[in-house]
Amino acid sequence: MRTRFLALLGILVAAAPASAQTNVADYNLNPLSRAYASDSGNYGGKPSGPINGNTNPYYAYDGNFQHSGTGSGGVQLDPTAVDPWWYVDLGSNYDVSQMKFYYRLDCCSTQNDGDVLRLWSSLPNFNDPSSALFSATLNWSGSSTDVFTFGAPITARYASVQADRDGAIVFPELEVYGVPSTVVATPEPASLVLLATGFAGLAAVTRRKR
């Protein structure tokens, strides 16, 4: 009876509107949330800025991130390199029902045009974006946010933003709304190595005891 109740509760929570769910990208609400980028950021911005809960659209306030992927004349400095990227690791799998991308409004709102927002179940592979679970091209329309709502929640652990060939990444916040998933997160390669080492050590101890 208790098992059935918990299963029903999980269904009800997953079906709840995004406004009633937690922004699991915000590290104040989800201590496991971590942000990474292809560089440390420009003009005082830093990779962790877009997951600190501060949606203020003006760059002078704490919480923005900026990376420019262009050189003079809009030509990327290294045309053979992977386009600039930013991503957040939620720490485990979540059933994501909605994402909100916030634009900078004091200037540069269109700099994200052509950038791609994605969801992933495993570590983002920017050389092969076809493995992403969801992709959407950003295009500022005058609003402070772009909202992406999923009728059926997407089970993901990572959300990313990647610049297009002659674009940039500059934004104050990305919100990811969801609930913990029952799908177990796939261990990253480093975790698998540690796990294998642990099993090998345990086997050695067992042999010595015999």
pLDDT tens, residue by residue, 51-72: 999 998 887 666 677 775 544 3
Dihedral angle, C-alpha 141, 176, 86, 88, nearest 10 °: 180
Identify whether the C-beta of residue 109 lies closer than 8 Å to the C-beta of residue 103. yes
Q: How many domains does the chain have?
A: 1
How far from 62 is each of 50, 53, 168, 172, CA to CA, in Å? 10, 10, 19, 9
- pTM for the model stands at 0.74
Beta partners for residue 136, in sequence order: 117
Task: Look up the domain containing 49 and give its range.
Answer: 2-209
| Full pLDDT tens readout for the chain, 210 residues | 444 433 433 444 445 555 568 999 999 999 999 999 887 666 767 889 999 999 988 876 666 777 755 443 334 444 456 788 899 999 999 999 999 999 988 887 888 889 999 999 999 999 889 999 999 999 999 999 999 999 999 999 999 999 876 667 888 999 999 999 987 655 555 444 433 444 444 344 344 444
Q: What is the CATH number of the domain that holds 120?
A: 2.60.120.260
